[in-house]
Each structure stands twice: as structure tokens, then as C-alpha cells.
Structure 1
Amino acid sequence: MAFKYINPGYAELLSVRGGTTVTGEQYSKTGISFWQTQMNRGLLLSEIPTELYGRFDVFLKNPTIVEDALVWVCIGYYNGIKISPDRTVWDIEIRKDGRNIYSLSDTAGVIRTDAVNTLWFHIKQGKHADGIMHVMVNGYEIYHAQNEELWYAGDSEAKTVTLCSKSSDALLSNLILSNEEISPREQVIMLPVKETHTNMTDCGDGSYEATAANQELLQSVDTASLITQYGADSRVTGISLLGNPAYCTAEGLCALMALEKSGGNITEYGRHIAEQNPNSTVMDTRTVSMTIAELSGRQFGWRAGT
């Protein structure tokens, strides 16, 4: 089953509690980023993927002034990437079954400090010297092996993608994960809203409250500004609708249905149950194939239900 996970940088969208979301455009291209300290925690998948593609941004402070900084992005028992400070530079290690199989310690020409760095990877299982481990950092290919003995399906954490940063000295954002191919050029963009159409109650602070079943909130995208910035023919490969926060306040209404309206037709996507926790979130993500220009005339949003 194909999946795609898109997270601009909210700790609340992880499968683990206790992370911290940080705002600030100096830390992330999306303006939000996070750190969370629990190992073997991050995103819990419904199935074990045969292969995993990922890209993420990480803001790394000057390594000479950091304390207890450590980043893990991996699947199963530590199959993936470890980033840690070593005096004046950041070390990057490629790990397989927890073992270090490659180290890049001379990263001065690859890693930017006090800046946002972009990493892309592809991990594929293989029992017969046909596993893949491929990692790129800021456009530089630092490791590419297609003959790995790599098997994580039997690990107790086989369904877990670890997304861990031990401190605010390294902030994660702009995450895309999938078991289908991701281009190193893909990135998360926060869509600017042009208009909002709703029969929910406008709370006046950017939030809306549904008081009856079947009330809807639909928003159109400011396509013109996106075309100016990225070009009309730039590809859109996935859309993620986010309610943050999204919660129910009483008995009855407890569900949100993701919607898309185009040409007068409304298409329903995922149905999500909202919690009563005021800090909870709801997200619906799907893979698409269209251009930025084709976003024009479409509306995205939610319908409240029971």
C-alpha cells in the first residue's frame, strides 16, 4: 500500500507526544520546525515498507557551541542517518543495523552551520546483496550502495521511522516520506489562502467552530502568488490538509472529512476522528499529479460529522 507523509515542521504531527514545535523563518523554509528527544519514535507506519524514500531539512547551529546535539532519521533498528557535532564540524554517519558503515567527518564543504540543510535518502531492503542505501546532502551524493545486505523487516521497530533530535541545536522540518520515489527536488510549500468559504462559526482568530453536522470549511489557493514564485508548470506531487489544532468540544461532532471541490463537484477523501485534547491535530495526505497552475479553481477543506 502506497503512503506519503508530509510535515512542514510540526511536532504535533508525529506519532509520539512531547516534541517541541519552533517558529521562525531562520530555522526553516516553512517557518516551523521541531525537535523531539525520544529514540525509536517519530512516525509509526501501518505496514513495513520494502523501501523508504525521504527528504528533510535540518537547521544546524554552530557545532562549537552546541550541547547534547544528536539527530537520527532511520527505519527499524537504526538503518539510516545519524548527525552529531564533532568539535568544529558536524559528522554524518550512515548506519545499518546500528553499525556505522560510512562516516563523513570533513563536512565543511557540505554542511552549512547556522543554516538550513537538505538531506535526501533511499533505503531498500535486500537479503541477497541487493539492498540499497543512497544519501544526498545539499545536493552532494555522499553514499550510494546497491549491493547491501540490509533487512529490517524482523526488527521490533520495523514500522517505525525514527525522527529524533536531542535538542533545539538541530531542528527538523520540511519532511516528506514515502514508499514510492521522491525526487531530491521535492519540498513542502505552505499554500497561501486566497478565499475562505464556510458555514462554520468564524472565531475571529483564524479558527472556525462547527456546531452542526455537515458544516463545511473550504479554502481556495492564491495560485497567482505561487506561479510568481515557483512557475506555472512546477509539479505538485502531494497535498496535505492540516487542522492545527483540531479537536471536539462536546459529545456528538467528532469527525472531520477531508474535501476537495472543483468545478462544482466535491470529492471526499480521508475521514478522521478528532480528539478532545485542545492541542490535537488532524492531517489528511494524498499523492497527486498536477501543476501549480492546475490548483486554480480548486478548494480544499473539511466537513464536520459524527
Structure 2
Amino acid sequence: MKQTYFPYNPALKQALLSVSNLMEAKIKTRDGQLEGALQQMATNGGKFLRPAFFWLFASLNGQPTEEKRPPLIKLATSIEVLHMATLIHDDIIDDSPKRRGRVSIQAKFGKDVAVYSGDYLFTIFFDLITTTTEGTPFLTINAKVMHRILRGELGQMADRFKQNQSLLAYLRNVNGKTAALFSLAASEGAHFGGADQRTVTLAKQIGQNVGIAFQILDDILDYSSGDRLNKPVLEDLATGVYSLPLLLALKTDPTELTPLLNKGRQMTLSDMERVRELVVNIGGVDQARQLATAFTKKAEEKINRLPAGSSQQALNKLCKHLLKRNS
């Protein structure tokens, strides 16, 4: 478990350790192969960013009491479990050989075990939220978030190899597959931490903006420093997922890009490297970075309207760390 995006915070560190321990207990199963796959995913270098986000919003009015901690830990864990399940299924769909620099579950254990692993995590997710959100609107909200995530993934699949994809379509997909979970973590944390409705609404908006900025910066890293993320450079390009830098470069100057992209799955490594060069030279990366900065600034403006305190300060630092991910 890493905490790359957060300053040292003893209370947060303890909360994330509790999340990690609960997750480890929940993924135990009598099927040795399934448990092995889940253990690999749980210890595969995740940063626990979303549960940390949840905890910071749950702590806006001070650290939760010992009485309130157990249900909050369950909710924070549910968010990471849902995130893990979507990652496993993503790797199956993309036939990805690696996840976080290590062999992916589907590559190591096979697609059958990977599918069952993702499904098993969904059952853990439902168990965690049904025991903590009953009598609140968040049982329904969690269901709607799952629907948004699926819509985002379906939208991305429908837009594969589509060179005329609009910025609106890109943002709609990102709102589902990435921003929805950040928004849930923030608003759910604020609500169950005892914040008023105004703050819960602010939290939801902050999570959405941070999630969009996070995905854009992830897209940029494919073109600028993929090795640092331990993911194959331009893996998305190889599967026809056109991320923001490429889409912006296409709108600016498609002359040399179009013939290369027209090759579809027949693109060679040399072709992909040329696309990478063109996207950078045309300015797609710089334009994408500007958009990520704009969404981050929106989040920062709203964070400044939250109750003052250590959690608000940590959230402000988070936004600055996010912007540094591509430097």
C-alpha cells in the first residue's frame, strides 16, 4: 500500500492500514487459486487513493470517533474493492499482460480465474455497502455509480478507433469510468462523516473534477513518461482507445496522423512511436495538460469553500501533487 499523493498524516495512515487489513480479511476464500489472484491484486502496488480521498472528506469536521470508525472503514474499503474489480475486468477486456508493472491476473491465472476474481470482489462490495448504507440514499447512489462506470466503459468500447470522437464524448466516458468513483468517495465520505448537505454537494463536485483531471494526466503519461507508470507505452492506442492528447492533436492537424491511425490493429510499433512523436509535436500533450489544469483549478476553488482544517489542507496538496504527476 502506497500513499504517493498524500503528505504524511498519522490518522490517514492508520485508517488506510485498517482498510488494507479489512480487505485482506474479506478476500479470503476456500479456493486457493482465486485467493491467490485476489491477494496479488490487493498487494500489487495500489495507492489506496480513493479510500484516502474518502477518509479526508469524512474527517472534514475532525477525526471520526472510535464508534464511527468501523462503518467508515467498511465504506472506504468498499470503494477500493469496487475499483479493484473494475481494474480486473478492464485487463480482461483489453487482454492486458500487466497491471501496475506486474503480470496481470488474467495473464497469470487465466481469464476464467480473472472473471471469477472480479465477480467475487463485487459480492464483497455489496456485502460492505448493504451493512453500512441501509436507511440512507447511498445504497441507491452506489448502484447508480456502478451503472455510470459501466456506461463509461461501454462508451469507450463504442468509440474505439473512432477518429472523429468529440471532446464531449471523451469527457462523458471519463465521467463514468474514472470520475464517478472519485465523486462517490468524496460525497460518501462527507455524508457519513457528518457534513451538511452543502458540503456533501461540494464534495461530489470536487471528486468529479479531480477524477477527470486524474484521467487526463494518466492519458498524458502514455505519451510522455509511460515507463514511470510501469504500463506499456501507448497500450490504449494499440487497442483503439484514443485518449485526450491524441484526440486534440487530431483536431489540430490530422494530416500525418490519419494515415497511421487508418491502419487500425495493423499498426506497427514503429507506427505507434511515430504517432507518439506527432501527438507531442503537434501540441496534443500541452493542450491536454492545460485542460487537466483547468479541471484541477475548479476542484481547488471548491476545496477552498470546505470547512477549514487539516483535511482541507491535505486535499489542496493532493491537487498540487496530481498536477506534478507528468513532470
Shorter-chain TM-score tier: under 0.3
Higher strand share: 1
Structure number having the greater helix percentage = 2
TM-score by length of 1: 0.25
Scaled by the length of structure 2, the TM-score of the pair is 0.24
